[in-house]
Amino acid sequence: MSPPIRPASFPPPLQKLAAKVRDGERLDEADALACFTTPHLLHLGRLADHVRRRMHGDLAYYNINRHINPTNVCVYTYDCKFCGFAALPGEDHAWEMSHEEVYAHAARQGGDRVTEFHIVGGLHPELPLEWYLEMLRGLKERFPSVHLKAFTAIEIGWFARREKMSIEQVLVALRAAGLGSLPGGGAEIFDEEVRAVICGGKLDSAEWLEVHRIAHGLGIRSNCTMLYGHVEKPEHKVDHLLRLRRLQDETGGFNAFIPLAYHPENNYLGLRYHTTGSEDLRHLAAARLVLDSIPHVKAYWVMITPKLAQVALSFGADDVDGTVVEETIYHMAGAETEQHLERSELERIIRAAGFVPVQRDTLYNPLAPAAAAAVAG
Ligand code: V47
């Protein structure tokens, strides 16, 4: 339980916002802007923590997952200026796994029993949709109980273009091959002017939202993200969160929001700085407060470090992602965190932060019996 909110004890610019949080009222655009501009980070965090505890009590979720990146070859290598992962065909750091290599990667699970494969990659110019369908079928055959959370909206849009199919046809085919849900990547910042600077040329924001709308309509759930810490301004982030909230109001299909901190290494954007801890906490808190209809806010430990992910659990986040096993995208962009955390370590950091760890599946069903009882009771 969180102690009651007393708006009068908040700095005057946050009192109206505090009253809305106390009363469970939706925040408007001006409130959302205040979340990104107030200097009172601890007060903002206190409000986000109140909402987080109202929704999830003292439970904190994690899963046992494995990332698989079948290829980093990408037709948008020079369009997505912030990306340190992509490569052109034939470049030294380009890779393309065979199906057998994907299955071998999947089998190396780091000791814990994996419940999710998180599969994303570059937009390969040569690989047909059938190659991906075969990969999903092969994974399902070998690992029938593992949920396949695969392909960002950017990849789905690319498959549709390449194959001259509709988004719906692509999603239906992927689902028939074993796709369980979509990860949230590729959203970056929806504002078209910012997008033109950081990733002009790739799938536009309306199309990103449309892919998720269609997926939700088919009963395929998904996550959503926002890339921050580059050239964007507070109003762009407000616009981004409100566009996500509107879609969630329409479909209810998002499971979790993950704010993604920009990492500056090995890319063409020409920015030097990593985000600071205060910025990371602010984005998590703002998300929890504004995205009232999205159930979960994830503090992705790979990106912000396990230590800050612990603090984030008191700033609105209720999930730390999973064991991951082998992270590539952030490590190629300069992340210095581990590539893998064991389940015992995830549980230890959650407990040490004062929360009760709950192992979940991709769709947030609690898995371990003790955890299920905690959620039920
Ligand atoms: O789509 C790429 C971003 C995303 C950089 O859905 C970068 O559960 C920062 O989406 N600095 C991939 N960000 C990661 C992602 C994700 C991660 C964890 C969980 C989930 C989920 C999704 O990372 C990309 C892009 O938006 N990205 N390069 C960079 N230099």
Sequence-distant (≥ 6) Cβ neighbours of residue 174 within 8 angstroms: 132, 133, 136, 150, 151, 156
108 CA distance to ligand 1 centroid (A)?
22
Question: Which of 199, 189, 259 has its CA nearest to residue 223?
Answer: 259
14's tokens: 């946050």
Whether 300 and 258 have beta carbons less than 8 Å apart is answered as yes
User: How large is the average pLDDT for residues 295-315?
Assistant: 97
Top-tier CATH class for 53-376: alpha beta
Residue 45 pLDDT = 98
362's tokens: 């991709």
Q: Is 227 in the pocket of ligand 1 (CB under 6 A)?
A: yes
225 CA distance to ligand 1 centroid (A)?
8
Question: Which of 132, 160, 155 has its CA nearest to residue 70?
Answer: 132
Q: What is the CA radius of gyration of the chain?
A: 20
Q: Is 327 in the pocket of ligand 1 (CB under 6 A)?
A: no
Residue 326 pLDDT = 86
- Coil, strand or helix at 137: helix
Q: Is 157 in the pocket of ligand 1 (CB under 6 A)?
A: no
Q: Which among 227, 296, 337 is the best mutation to test ligand 1's pocket, defined by most ligand atoms within 8 Å of the CB?
A: 227
Whether 148 and 104 have beta carbons less than 8 Å apart is answered as no
User: How large is the average pLDDT for residues 133-160?
Assistant: 97
Residue 129 pLDDT = 98
Amino acid at 359: Q
Residue 369 pLDDT = 58
Q: Strands 65-68 and 116-119, how do they pair? A: parallel
User: How large is the average pLDDT for residues 231-256?
Assistant: 98
Which protein residue has the closest C-alpha to ligand 1 atom 23?
185
Sequence-distant (≥ 6) Cβ neighbours of residue 89 within 8 angstroms: 73, 125, 126
261 CA distance to ligand 1 centroid (A)?
9
Which protein residue has the closest C-alpha to ligand 1 atom 18?
300
pLDDT band, very low/low/confident/very high, at 375 (cuts 50, 70, 90):
low
User: Between residues 310 and 328, which one has the greater pLDDT?
Assistant: 310
Whether 249 and 293 have beta carbons less than 8 Å apart is answered as yes
pLDDT tens-digit series, residues 40-91: 999 999 999 999 999 999 999 999 999 999 999 999 888 899 999 999 999 9
Q: Which among 65, 81, 83 is the best mutation to test ligand 1's pocket, defined by most ligand atoms within 8 Å of the CB?
A: 83
- Coil, strand or helix at 268: coil
- pTM score over 0.95: yes
Residue 262 pLDDT = 96
Which protein residue has the closest C-alpha to ligand 1 atom 8?
183
